[in-house]
């Protein structure tokens, strides 16, 4: 077992049943000209999550533990994008519109791709999801059942939207969830802080949080033993 000094208390997991899920580290959210910016956000606020996510990916790859990437990605005909989502807010580009990185949040378009530093490698799962939660209308449930996953380690963007939604879905399905604090960011720093608090409140009501360094050190201690 690996025991991570986390909040609100230590989390122990069996490395045979752990998986990493990296939520929506896409150009559309992280780079200028994409969906995040068209919603009026300062996308540079998400940049710090890239380095820690890269480190987390390296840790999982070094141990051969499963990695799942998600993308918020709609079909080109928008048949999986309800009007309630497409017409939300007053962006200058809506989902499906042609922008500087191709059609916004559409499968296969340049903006929809995961940023190069966190790109999937051979053997990793990539799940395209039409919603905020990664379990809704995707194959994630069966992927995790096949892997025998019990503990999910989370990274990605944005903390209070797709990351938190997916953590709550995972918690309802019986997974233990650990969010890596420096591998997630929000366009609203106060929302990130509040989300971390909400997740671990009431005795880990949704899950645990810890910095990457705490997980890495715990893994090194156990694998050296
Ligand atoms: N707008 C925002 O903060 N996030 C999203 O729309 N999607 C994700 O979080 N991936």
The answer to which of 14-18, 34-38, 86-90, 167-171 has the lowest mean pLDDT is: 86-90
Please work out whether the CB of residue 11 comes within 6 Å of at least one atom of ligand 1. Answer: no
Place of tokens 């500087």: 100
Q: How far is the CA of 152 from the centre of ligand 1 (A)?
A: 20
Q: How far is the CA of 60 from the centre of ligand 1 (A)?
A: 25
Higher pLDDT, 22 or 222: 22
Please work out whether the CB of residue 187 comes within 6 Å of at least one atom of ligand 1. Answer: yes
Phi, psi of 82, rounded to the nearest 5 degrees: -65, 150
Pairwise CA distance, residues 41 & 35, whole Å: 9
Residue 159 CB burial class (10 angstroms; 0-12, 13-18, ≥19): buried
Q: What SS3 state is found at 102?
A: strand
Which residue in 20, 25, 19, 23 sits closest to 119, CA to CA?
25
Atom of ligand 1 nearest to the CA of 162: 9
Task: Indicate which residue's Cα is closest to atom 6 of ligand 1.
Answer: 161
Calculate the average pLDDT of the chain: 97
Which residues, including other chains, have CB under 8 Å from residue 88's CB and lie 6 or more apart? Answer: none
Q: How far is the CA of 161 from the centre of ligand 1 (A)?
A: 5
Which residue in 213, 183, 222 sits closest to 20, CA to CA?
183
**Residue pLDDT, tens place only, 171-193:** 999 999 999 999 999 999 999 99
Q: The whole model's pTM is what?
A: 0.98
**Residue pLDDT, tens place only, 116-173:** 999 999 999 999 999 999 999 999 999 999 999 999 999 999 999 999 999 999 999 9
pLDDT-derived band at 223 (thresholds 50, 70, 90) equals confident
Q: Residue 92 has what pLDDT?
A: 83
Please work out whether the CB of residue 162 comes within 6 Å of at least one atom of ligand 1. Answer: yes
**Residue pLDDT, tens place only, 48-107:** 999 999 999 999 999 999 999 999 999 999 999 999 999 987 778 899 999 999 999 999
Q: Residue 225 has what pLDDT?
A: 63
Strand 102-103 relative to strand 18-23, pairing: unpaired
Atom of ligand 1 nearest to the CA of 187: 3
């Amino acid at each position: 077992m690996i025991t991570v000094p986390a909040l609100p208390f230590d989390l122990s997991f069996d490395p045979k049943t752990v998986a990493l899920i990296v939520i929506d580290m896409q150009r559309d959210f992280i780079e200028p000209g994409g969906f995040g910016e068209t919603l009026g956000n300062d996308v540079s606020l998400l940049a710090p999550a890239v380095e820690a996510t890269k480190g987390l990916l390296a840790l999982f790859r070094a141990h051969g533990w499963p990695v799942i990437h998600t993308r918020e990605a709609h079909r080109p005909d928008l048949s999986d994008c309800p009007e309630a989502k497409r017409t939300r807010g007053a962006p200058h580009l809506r989902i499906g519109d042609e922008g500087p990185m191709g059609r916004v949040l559409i499968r296969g378009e340049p903006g929809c791709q995961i940023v190069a530093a966190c790109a999937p490698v051979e053997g990793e799962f990539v799940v395209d999801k039409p919603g905020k939660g990664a379990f809704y209308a995707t194959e994630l449930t069966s992927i995790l059942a096949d892997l025998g996953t019990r503990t999910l380690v989370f990274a990605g963007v944005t903390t209070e939207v797709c990351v938190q939604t997916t953590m709550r879905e995972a918690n309802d399905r019986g997974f233990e969830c650990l969010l890596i604090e420096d591998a997630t960011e929000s366009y609203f720093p106060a929302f990130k802080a509040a989300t971390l608090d909400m997740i671990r409140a009431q005795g880990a009501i949704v899950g645990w949080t810890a910095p990457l360094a705490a997980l890495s050190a715990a893994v090194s201690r156990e694998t050296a033993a």
